[in-house]
Chain A
Amino acid sequence: MIKVKNLVKKYGDITVSNHLNCHFEKGKVTVILGGSGSGKTTLLRQLTGLEKPDSGSVYFNGLDLTTFTKKKLYDTRKKMGMLFQGSALFNYLNIFENIAFPLREHTKIADNIIKTIVTMKLEMVGLRGIERLMPSQLSGGMTKRVGLARAIVMDPEIIFYDEPTSGLDPISTGVIGKLIKDLNHALKITSVVVSHDIKSCFRIADNIIILFSGDIIAEGTVEEIKNSKDLRVKQFINGEPEGPIPFTRTDKNYLDDILFE
């Protein structure tokens, strides 16, 4: 589905994508794991063409996304859905209009059919009946589910999830995880999930990619990752504060910093 080749992206001196090579299989749930600042969101943005890499390619169905014209990119995006970290609902539209938005913009579907589609998508995320509410009236978990309903309204081939469970309570986290899995099974949608939530990641993932400061340090199925001998991977999935992944960011010696100004 998506193949990444030699992807490089730098912000100033910091390399956020360091010659990445990876591949997202069709019909599978691939989770990109990593701590904050490991470059996982940047990788996601490059997969969708929201950000251009400094060098390297992203092949979407065999075509290099990074060379697309704006029109071609937009046409490709109609096959993509995305759930943003903050859901990114339009706060001046109610729930119904939010979900109907892509349909109204890109299709000439009649109003009564739009209503049927929106109702179906809301039923899929278990929120039928809230069409008239405004986004500000919903809880965090509900907002995410509405965002998900909007992401699937155009029946995409692939859905990108940016931290779908961050900031949610355990039950909502479970609900979202189950939804991702169900959508993947029922609609055969390829899913790419960016997350740092190990527990729910193991539950939903087919494949896992672990990023650490711009590098891929592990790639494989859930079992392979769980049995990995790599110390950095072990530290990350067990959430240990001590290990090869340093807690502090600076290279300068602590004593030097205190004793000499």
Chain B
Amino acid sequence: MEIAATLGRFTLNRIQILGRSGIFLFAAVFQTFLPPFRIRRLVKEIDFIGSKSFLIVFVTALFTGMVLGIQGYYSLSRFGAQAALGIMVALSIIRELGPVLCALMVTGRAGSAITAEIGIMKITDQFPALEMMAIDPLKYVVSPKIFAGIISLPLLTAFFDLVGIAGGYLVGVKLLGVNEGAYLGKMTAAITFTDIYGGILKSLCFGLLITWIASFMGFTAEPTTEGVSRATTNSVVLTSLSILIIDYILTSLLL
């Protein structure tokens, strides 16, 4: 009996949190479409989530592409199919690694910062202060972050794809001597619009997911130093896991 009750309470609790986070997202998104529009806040958030992630995305993409170049060459040369290296690198990056790795890197860099920032604002009474100044904290703080995530992630992913393919080219063509025409030509012929569209759609979802979870965790953090540090850890772990799970679901739906 005891176990059943505990299990039931736990489940109800989780469902409640899920519902609350849904309402939270809806309110934040809904508020965005009411004036006044906070373009400057949005630009600032895009700068933080997007532009400032460029370097980390660049390095991740370059080395991912290069490793794919080596591994792909090794595997493909067993069947004497080195010429297909370009297709292999491009397909794996555009369809899978680009959106996922990019989202994971942004989670670590920006997602944690968002949770910590919102948590600290909560500790220091900045939300009631905004309320007292007749400003809706959700609209002022959260909405720009969510939209910045939705705008930044696809752009970062496109950048990741480009750099990743260049990394593969660097290793495959320049270092291991795969034919340049084969690498690029076969790639452009084989990649379809559906591949690119799928990747972009994934990155849109991840952009929403990262900023949503990070903001919600910050907003609901216990207002103590320990509470904020726990919320930050939970936020990164939960976002990373959700990205991988949602990635599987989206892939299976898109294929």
Contacts and interface: CB of A to CB of B under 8 A. Distances in A.
Interface of A: 45, 48, 50, 70, 74-75, 77-78, 80-82, 84-86, 88, 90-91, 101-102, 105-106, 154
A70 B30 CA distance: 15
A50 B125 contact: no
Contacts of A77: 131-134
Interface string B215-242: 0000000000000000000000000000
B185 interface: no
Contacts of B120: 91
A105 B125 contact: no
Contacts of A70: 136
Contacts of A84: 125, 128-129
B126 interface: yes
Contacts of B128: 45, 50, 82, 84, 88
A154 B134 CA distance: 11
B12 interface: no
A90 B129 CA distance: 9
B135 interface: yes
A155 B190 CA distance: 67
B134 A82 contact: no
Interface in B110-143: 120, 124-126, 128-129, 131-136
Given A74-B136, A88-B124, A88-B128, 4 more contacts: A50-B131, A90-B129, A91-B124, A106-B134
Contacts of A82: 128-129, 132
User: Which 9 interchain pairs have the tightest Cβ spacing?
Assistant: A88-B129, A74-B134, A88-B125, A77-B134, A82-B132, A84-B125, A102-B133, A88-B126, A78-B134
Interface in B187-202: none
B97 to A, nearest CB: 34
A48 B125 CA distance: 14
B31 to A, nearest CB: 11
Contact of A101 (B124, B125, B131, B133): B133
A75 B134 contact: yes
Contact of A85 (B125, B126, B131, B132): B125
Contact of B132 (A50, A75, A90, A106): A50
B79 to A, nearest CB: 56
A106 B132 CA distance: 13
B187 to A, nearest CB: 44
Nearest to B44: A92
B253 to A, nearest CB: 38
Contacts of B132: 48, 50, 77, 80-82
A74 B135 CA distance: 7
